[in-house]
Amino acid sequence: MTIGSAIEVSVLICTRNRPEALAKALSTWRPVLEASRTGWELLIVDNASDVDLRRVVEAAPVPARYIHCARIGLGAARDNGWRHARGRIVAFTDDDCYPAPDFVDRVAEVFAEHPDTGCLGGRILLHNPDHAHVTIKESDTVETFAPCRYLKPGAIHGANMAIPRRILEEVGGLDPELGAGTPFPCEDIDVITAVLWAGHPARYDPRPTVRHDHGRSEADRPALMRSYDMGRGAHYAKYAARQDTRRAFLSAWWQRRRDTRWRSELPHVHQEAASALSYLAQKRHIAALCLVGPAIGLALGVIHAKVTLHHLRHRLVSQRA
């Protein structure tokens, strides 16, 4: 079915100052238009670009709606965009992701088979084998995630994620203070967590597939990992500040970091902790700061002691050898 009436799926792409990447991405949606049996629409959210992206959208080989978002940040752009969507399902992807021709049909198919799904994550393949193996999920195994449980960041990626519109309405949409372009790049896991703790299960299914042409080399990995640390820290802090999720998220952070052994791991621990405290301070969660701050301080003290002991043992073993 071509784009038009009886829209089932709204595909949302947010972009900022990347006309060439956007034009390339838009060209890859033509096969989807030709192959789809499902009614769908394509929405392009211009996230306060300094260049004219409307012309790029108007010149695209597929019909697309141009939406402008004046607030910088991926969370703000995605939150703005889904509110313009007409489809029952909102599928989020990026301006450097190229869909399989059956992408829209597979999204609709999964939700038809599992109508209770609150959030769907799809497969993300590496488009260029010369790029670093990051920001992808190539698994062909279906996974289900129970509601009201902690979900590890990365289980579902925002580059291929779909949520029913009614559930986005229920959870209040995406947090405009999070995402790329802000100090806390974690808008995807944040909205997934909101869906889970609203009582809806999530699902990873490899059928809806995109290829990620992210352009990063191994030299870009450290900066990417730092941004992930910042996002995770804010994410942990946001839900540690909530009474109903506090225990699960403090426990999850401790379980993630309690086995830290090497000094090279400490910068990641510090970045997460600093980002958590920065997020709480920015949100003026004074009570949470008073509660979470000392807990983080105690955990950091324990982690440093364990790292120091491990380092000393390692030196002793090396000297004896």
pLDDT band at 321; cut points 50, 70, 90: low
Q: What is the pLDDT of residue 1?
A: 43
* Amino acid at residue number 220: D
Q: Are strands 119-126 and 89-94 parallel, antiparallel or unpaired?
A: unpaired
Task: Tell me the mean pLDDT in the region 282-297.
Answer: 78
Q: Identify the CA nearest to 272 among candidates 224, 233, 222, 223.
A: 233
CB atoms within 10 A of CB 290: 10
CATH, domain 9-216, list 3.40.50.720, 3.90.730.10, 3.90.550.10, 3.40.950.10: 3.90.550.10
Over 50: is that where the pLDDT of 2 sits?
no
Q: What is the pLDDT of residue 257?
A: 79
- Quote the strand ranges of the chain, DSSP E: 9-15, 40-47, 65-69, 89-94, 97-99, 119-126, 143-145, 160-164, 202-212
Q: What is the pLDDT of residue 304?
A: 67
Domain ranges across the chain: 9-216, 219-320
Q: Give pairs for 285-290: CB < 8 Å, separation 24+.
A: 285/237, 285/241, 288/237, 288/240, 288/241
Record the tokens describing residue 111, joined without a space: 């939700």
Contact indicator for 107, 136 with CB cutoff of 8 Å: no
Record the tokens describing residue 15, joined without a space: 């972009």
Rama region for 72: left / alpha / beta (φ>0; ψ in -120 to 50; rest): beta
Q: What is the rounded CA–CA span in Å between residue 206 and residue 193?
A: 20
Task: Tell me the mean pLDDT in the region 46-75.
Answer: 97
Backbone φ, ψ for residue 297 (5° rounding): -60, -45
- Which residues on neighbouring strands pair with residue 9, listed in sequence order? 40, 89
pLDDT band at 297; cut points 50, 70, 90: confident
The residue among 28 and 1 whose pLDDT is bigger is 28
Q: What is the pLDDT of residue 141?
A: 98
Q: What is the pLDDT of residue 5?
A: 58
Q: What is the rounded CA–CA span in Å between residue 159 and residue 316?
A: 47
Look at the block and give the residue holding tokens 């006309």.
Answer: 19
pLDDT band at 197; cut points 50, 70, 90: very high
Over 80: is that where the pLDDT of 237 sits?
yes
Q: What is the pLDDT of residue 63?
A: 96
Over 90: is that where the pLDDT of 236 sits?
yes
Task: Tell me the mean pLDDT in the region 234-248.
Answer: 93
Q: What is the pLDDT of residues 181-196, one digit of tens each?
A: 999 999 999 999 999 9
Mean pLDDT for the chain? 92
Q: What is the rounded CA–CA span in Å between residue 206 and residue 226?
A: 28
Sign of the four-CA dihedral 245, 250, 251, 253: positive
Task: Tell me the mean pLDDT in the region 126-150.
Answer: 97
CB atoms within 10 A of CB 262: 10
Q: What is the pLDDT of residues 267-280, one digit of tens each?
A: 888 898 899 899 99
Over 80: is that where the pLDDT of 177 sits?
yes
